[in-house]
């Protein structure tokens, strides 16, 4: 199994991760509406990405810390929006 | 650094991952409304979790395959809902 393929997929996945919630943040910012978003799903996303960030810190892996740090900041913005635009 | 702590965090993260989008799927199923959900974010989620699934298959890791298989099925349901309830 070629390790370069795994490395490529990992890099691609990391890049897609960081931008995943950007369109959602922009959409809410434009529409000021979060009615259809599940609070519990936002909470689980927060929990999940926080655990990933802790994992990255524990194994001292900079890409995991960076990716999940960016994603976590977007999730926190969405939670703030969910609270602001009820 | 205790490996058991990393193992515990990984298991917790895996469990949270599998249930993350369940409340969102239930919410859409009840409200029949997906107006506030970003299609592009759903697409990025699909892409991201698909890459994780491929990664799990490539390194032959059953927990990664299982977790991402379940998450992917929920994302596909959300994309179907997004298309159905415009």
* Secondary-structure percent of chain A, ordered helix, strand, coil, rounded to 5: 80, 0, 20
- In angstroms, the separation between the Cα of residue A74 and the nearest Cα of chain B is 12
Which residues in B have their CB inside 8 Å of a CB on A? 1, 5-6, 9-10, 12-13, 16-17, 19-24, 26-28, 31, 33-41, 44-45, 47-48, 51-52, 54-55, 58-59
ipTM: 0.88
What per-residue confidence (pLDDT) applies to B80?
Answer: 97
Two structure tokens written together for A37: 């978003």
Strand, coil or helix: what is B38?
coil
Q: What is the CATH number of the domain that holds B30?
A: 1.20.1280.290
Rounded to whole angstroms, how far apart are CA atoms B41 and B50?
14
Average pLDDT across each block of 10 residues of chain A; the chain has 86 residues. List them in order.
76 88 97 96 95 90 92 97 92
pLDDT of residue B72 exceeding 70, the answer is yes
Rounded to whole angstroms, how far apart are CA atoms A62 and B34?
36
> Over pLDDT 90: what percentage of chain B?
69
B44, A16 contact by CB (below 8 A): yes
- Chain A / chain B CB contacts < 8 angstroms: 101
Domain count, chain A: 1
Q: Which domain holds residue A74?
A: 3-84
């Amino acid at each position: 199994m070629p390790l370069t393929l795994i490395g490529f997929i990992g890099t691609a996945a990391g890049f897609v991760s960081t931008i995943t919630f950007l369109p959602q943040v922009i959409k809410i910012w434009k529409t000021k509406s979060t009615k259809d978003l599940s609070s519990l799903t936002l909470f689980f996303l927060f929990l999940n990405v926080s655990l990933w960030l802790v994992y990255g810190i524990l194994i001292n892996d900079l890409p995991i810390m960076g990716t999940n740090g960016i994603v976590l900041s977007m999730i926190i913005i969405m939670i703030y929006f969910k609270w602001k635009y009820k």
